[in-house]
Amino acid sequence: MSHILLLGAGFSRNWGGWLASEAFEYLLGHPEISCSRQLLDLLWRNLPTGGFENALAEVQADYKRDSVANKKHLDAFQRAVTDMFDDMNKCFDVTGFEFEFQRFQERTVRTFLSRFDAIFTLNQDLLIEHQYIDPDLSLLSNGRWNGSELPGMRPLKNSDVENLSYWGRRKWVPEESSRFQVNDRLQPYFKLHGSSNWQEKEGDSMLIMGGNKVSGIVQSPVLSWYQEKFEEYLFQADARLMVIGYGFRDEHINKVVIRAVKNSNLKMFIIAPEGGNLARTVNPTHGAAIRARTDLEDAFQLGLIGASRRSLREIFGNDTVEFNKVNRFFEA
């Protein structure tokens, strides 16, 4: 039985990371945005239908249509987004990962993460790099893992940050496609939408954002491979997927999950404020006079084996009842 973890923005939120709605509010006050009436209007116009990512998608589309006229707006928006991640990552570098002192190692967040066969994330922040990836993973996993890896990526040389524990302070670039592989002794960490410290070999940022993420993924060999690995892991026999903090709003991710549930008997456990009701709340017709059931709701009903509405601070704090419920996920 394989155990796979999928993380969304709600995971980092437990340590102060911003959700999409909070990112919108950050960008409103950023100098690159606040000094441009056009970008401000764009953000407000997209608030009801997709927030800052839809606004970014419009700027990207305008740039493709007329790069000369719209380069200034695209550069300003991207600089603001980069600064947003920089502000979060600086805090993640010094924050504490465990919510309170634990006498028992098995109750720590790090030990919990080490139990997964693979970690996939839609987040582009560096919380995991700063707080989880370190040489002690062998101890946390009782010798199962020798360490962690970002498959298909390699760090740029920097004599000041050669130590593994500084993954979050280094720049990373893709390997050649022929070198894409997963090491059996290293826990794989797949960042499906790129990362705030990744760049193409030409120096361009590797951040998949905006309204058409699939187009950006297709253009990147390593991210296309990541998407294939995500599907491969979910379609393994007796696979179980734990989802923490993902709101199921990326259609290309949802389609893989739905197919795996329906065609390969994938089982899921959700940690989110909405719990098992999450699929219903993200239904576009939720609350409408005429409500249409979605494939995602069907997948939840067929594949969900449990859920928790409580925060990670509660689960890994003193809430032993909920902690035990969450850990049933790993039981056969």
Domain boundaries, the chain: 3-16+98-330, 20-93
Segment 167-195, tens digit of pLDDT: 888 889 999 999 999 999 999 999 999 99
pLDDT tens track for 16-69: 999 888 988 999 999 999 899 999 998 999 887 767 888 888 888 888 888 888
Q: Do β-strands 153-155 and 172-174 pair in parallel, antiparallel, or remain unpaired? A: antiparallel
| CA 281/CA 297 separation, integer angstroms | 10
Query: Left, alpha or beta for 243 (phi > 0: left; psi -120 to 50: alpha)?
Result: beta
Q: For 5-14, what is each residue's pLDDT tens digit?
A: 999 999 999 9
pLDDT of residue 135: 56
What pLDDT does 134 receive? 67
CB of 12 within 8 A of CB of 123? yes
Beta carbons within 10 angstroms of residue 328's beta carbon = 10
Low-confidence ranges of the chain (pLDDT < 70): 50, 101-103, 134-136, 158-165, 203, 211, 289-290
| pLDDT computed for residue 15 by the predictor | 94
